[in-house]
């Protein structure tokens, strides 16, 4: 079913009005489906050399994924996928510690002789265990013991909480937290398509007692993935969408390894052929994944990278390498669609 407030309403009424309406109907909203489309394009050239040995490689990779996610219709006050989520939680914990300490000081209820060293804390635990045994499973005795030790144990727990780094934002515990984040998750059986194309061509030569031995190597793939890969692609997707800014956070974006064929030839051994997983340009895909951690609902980004290692044939140990890898990622997230 479609959600009561659709994407068309967001566009026509404006983001500010849309977020208010979303909050007002969230308690009655039905499950909503979102669609994520990602296109990645990788092109590059690379050379390597070691004394007389050399190799050069040309790569072209294309990836396209369309998958769906589901939202239960309830807006949340916290974006658990935001890059600064952990930092904010630490700052919030520190603010709670300060608030509790202030109240205890004002009311005179601050626990005394709170153990600070591991040895003192271990001694405290031993005293508690001894007194628990002395209660002989009497419920009232155990209740009184728990109430007596609770303030000290809470203080010990607060001491162990991580502290925010210098310059971390202050958290206002009294500020109103408005629900605004829609958390989307992959779900069983979500419609997913995967297209992976790899065209890798390398050639070079290595020195032998009889002279230089030329070689050639190709990898190629035109893969649509299998049922398990499509299922894992779906279930692995998690996003937090903010309709107020029309942007999302996610865990990044991953792909299965494509399957294809390899052909290798050199003058001494002749030709070898095989099928299986083909290599991909890991540093390019890692960059593309990072772009999807925080992004507007749709967009395009590109960069040029240096290869992180030499590629092509059996690379000679200690080989020097250079070249460039051009990467472009285009994406679009539609927060309210009918899966197809």
Of how many residues is the chain composed? 340
- The predicted-structure confidence for 8-19, as pLDDT tens digits, reads as follows 323 333 333 233
Using a 10 angstrom Cβ sphere, with 0-12 exposed, 13-18 middle and 19 or more buried, the burial of residue 334 is middle
**Local structure of 312: helix, strand or coil:** coil
> Residue 162: pLDDT above 90?
no
**Local structure of 68: helix, strand or coil:** strand
Q: Please give the Cα distance from 27 to 33 (Å, whole number).
A: 17
Q: Please give the Cα distance from 10 to 3 (Å, whole number).
A: 12
Name the strand (E) or helix (H) holding 58.
strand 53-71
76 DSSP assignment: B
Which of the pair, 158 or 229, is modelled with greater confidence?
Answer: 229
- The phi and psi torsions of 167 (rounded to 5 degrees) equal 85, 0
Q: CA angle, 88 as apex, 83 and 94 as ends, to 5°?
A: 155
CB 313 within 8 A of CB 51: no
pTM above 0.95, yes or no: no
282 DSSP assignment: H
- The predicted-structure confidence for 294-340, as pLDDT tens digits, reads as follows 999 999 999 999 998 888 888 888 899 999 999 999 999 999 998 86
50 DSSP assignment: E
Lowest mean pLDDT among 41-45, 162-166, 230-234, 306-310: 162-166
Mean pLDDT of 166-177: 62
Q: How confident is the model at residue 143 (pLDDT cuts 50, 70, 90)?
A: confident
Q: Please give the Cα distance from 258 to 289 (Å, whole number).
A: 17
Rounded to the nearest 10°, the torsion over CA 245, 251, 253, 256 is -160
pLDDT of residue 21: 32
Q: Please give the Cα distance from 197 to 43 (Å, whole number).
A: 12
pLDDT of residue 148: 79
**Local structure of 334: helix, strand or coil:** strand
Q: Which of 325, 194, 340, 198 is nearest to 259 (CA)?
A: 198
3-state helix, strand, coil in the chain (%, to 5): 30, 35, 30
Lowest mean pLDDT among 151-155, 195-199, 245-249: 151-155
- The phi and psi torsions of 141 (rounded to 5 degrees) equal -65, -45
**Local structure of 106: helix, strand or coil:** helix
- Tokens describing residue 75: 């807006």
In terms of average pLDDT, the best of 12-16, 119-123, 206-210, 269-273 is 269-273
Q: How far out from the chain centre does Cα 279 lie? A: 22
Q: Where are the alpha helices (DSSP H) in 108-237?
A: 118-135, 139-160, 227-235
The per-residue pLDDT of the chain, averaged, comes to: 82
Q: Which of 298, 70, 61, 339 is nearest to 193 (CA)?
A: 339
163 DSSP assignment: P
């Amino acid at each position: 079913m479609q959600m009561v407030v659709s994407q068309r309403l967001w566009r026509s009424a404006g983001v500010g009005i849309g977020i208010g309406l979303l909050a007002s109907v969230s308690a009655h909203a039905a499950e909503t489906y979102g669609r994520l489309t990602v296109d990645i394009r990788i092109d590059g050239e690379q050379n390597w050399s070691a004394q007389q040995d050399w190799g050069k490689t040309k790569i072209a990779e294309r990836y396209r994924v369309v998958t769906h996610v589901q939202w239960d219709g309830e807006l949340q006050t916290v974006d658990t996928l935001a890059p600064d989520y952990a930092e904010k939680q630490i700052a919030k914990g520190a603010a709670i510690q300060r608030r509790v300490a202030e109240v205890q000081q004002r009311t005179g209820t601050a626990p005394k002789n709170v153990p600070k060293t591991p040895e003192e804390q271990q001694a405290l635990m031993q005293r508690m265990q001894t007194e628990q045994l002395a209660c002989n499973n009497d419920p009232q005795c155990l209740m009184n013991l728990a109430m007596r030790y609770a303030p000290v144990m809470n203080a010990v727990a607060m001491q162990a909480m991580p502290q925010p780094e210098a310059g971390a934002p202050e958290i206002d515990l009294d500020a109103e937290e408005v629900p605004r984040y829609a958390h989307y998750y992959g779900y069983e059986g979500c419609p997913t398509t995967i297209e992976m194309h790899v065209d890798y061509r390398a050639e070079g030569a290595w020195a032998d007692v009889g002279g230089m031995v030329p070689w050639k190597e190709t990898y190629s793939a035109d893969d649509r993935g299998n049922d398990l890969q499509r299922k894992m692609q779906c279930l692995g997707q998690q996003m937090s969408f903010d309709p107020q800014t029309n942007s999302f956070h996610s865990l990044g974006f991953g792909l299965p390894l494509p399957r294809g064929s390899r052909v290798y030839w050199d003058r001494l051994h002749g030709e070898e052929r095989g099928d299986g997983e083909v290599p991909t340009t890991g540093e390019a895909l890692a960059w593309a994944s990072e772009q999807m951690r925080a992004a507007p609902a749709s967009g395009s980004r590109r960069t040029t990278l240096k290869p992180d290692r030499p590629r092509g044939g059996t690379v000679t140990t200690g080989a020097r390498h250079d070249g460039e890898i051009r990467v472009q990622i285009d994406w679009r997230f539609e927060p309210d669609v009918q899966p197809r």
